[in-house]
């Protein structure tokens, strides 16, 4: 993902606790930082990709975490798969300090990430999500905004279910988006299609 962002002209900072990953990122032109806090301080858009809810929590609120560099113009996209209720609560908590959290789980796996063909299911503030589409488009070919924070996680569910639609209703997900997710399949290998806009992310290409 970082390699594709650099190739599109973005100035990219990154942090990973594992040295091999840090070296690989540096080789692709990423400015490797010492912590998630340092990445947030240097960025307008932070994209978090870790494994689980508790890892997102650590990156956001742990020592030297993103929220130590919180400011009103900071955007944080959660690319991890987490519980919908956690995504909603995280957006509310961060919003109290002026940070906009986008629920943006990634799909299609490592091969698609390497090819720059990921799928993004989005939730959160619609205007902010639209402004960040060009950055997401550096590594994803299909990008959807499905509703409020948490809706992206519902959309990312392995298969549409009645329970998933119930979650969507609780999250105030627009009925039309829920209906689309629960009744529509892609024409090619289960993929969705979308036309991405070409708007600048907050005017400066920095993520």
Instruction: Tell me which CATH code domain 2-183 carries.
Output: 3.40.50.720
Length of the chain: 207
pLDDT for position 156:
87
Q: What is the per-residue pLDDT across 6-34, written as a single tens digit (0 to 9) for each?
A: 999 999 999 999 999 999 999 999 999 99
Q: How far, in Å, CA of 195 to CA of 172, rounded? A: 24
Helix axes 53-61 and 84-95, enclosed angle (nearest 10): 10
Instruction: Measure Cα distances from 21 to 27, 62, 142 in Å.
Output: 10, 21, 26
List helix spans (H) across the chain: 2-7, 19-27, 36-41, 53-61, 84-95, 109-115, 126-136, 151-155, 162-170, 175-183
pLDDT for position 157:
73
- CA torsion angle 184 102 170 194 (round to 10): -10
Mean pLDDT by 10 residues, the chain (207 residues): 96 96 96 97 97 96 97 96 96 97 95 96 97 98 96 79 51 48 39 30 37
Q: Does the predicted TM-score (pTM) go above 0.75?
A: yes
């Amino acid at each position: 993902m970082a390699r594709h962002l650099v190739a599109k002209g973005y100035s990219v900072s990154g942090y990973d606790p594992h040295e091999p990953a840090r070296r690989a990122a540096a080789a692709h032109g990423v400015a490797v930082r010492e912590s998630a806090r340092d990445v947030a301080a240097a960025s307008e858009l932070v994209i978090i990709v870790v494994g689980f809810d508790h890892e997102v929590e650590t990156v956001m609120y742990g020592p030297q975490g993103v929220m130590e560099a919180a400011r009103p113009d900071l955007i944080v996209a959660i690319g991890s798969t987490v519980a919908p209720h956690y995504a909603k609560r995280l957006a509310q908590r961060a919003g109290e300090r002026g940070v906009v959290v986008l629920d943006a789980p990634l799909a299609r796996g490592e091969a698609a990430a390497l090819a720059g063909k990921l799928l993004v299911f989005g939730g959160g503030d619609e205007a902010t999500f639209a402004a960040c589409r060009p950055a997401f488009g550096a590594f994803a070919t299909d990008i959807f905004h499905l509703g409020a924070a948490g809706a992206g996680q519902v959309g990312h569910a392995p298969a549409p279910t009645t329970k998933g639609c119930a979650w969507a209703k609780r999250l105030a997900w627009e009925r039309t988006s829920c209906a689309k997710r629960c009744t529509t399949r892609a024409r090619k290998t289960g993929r969705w299609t979308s036309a991405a806009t070409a708007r600048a992310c907050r005017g400066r290409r920095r993520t």
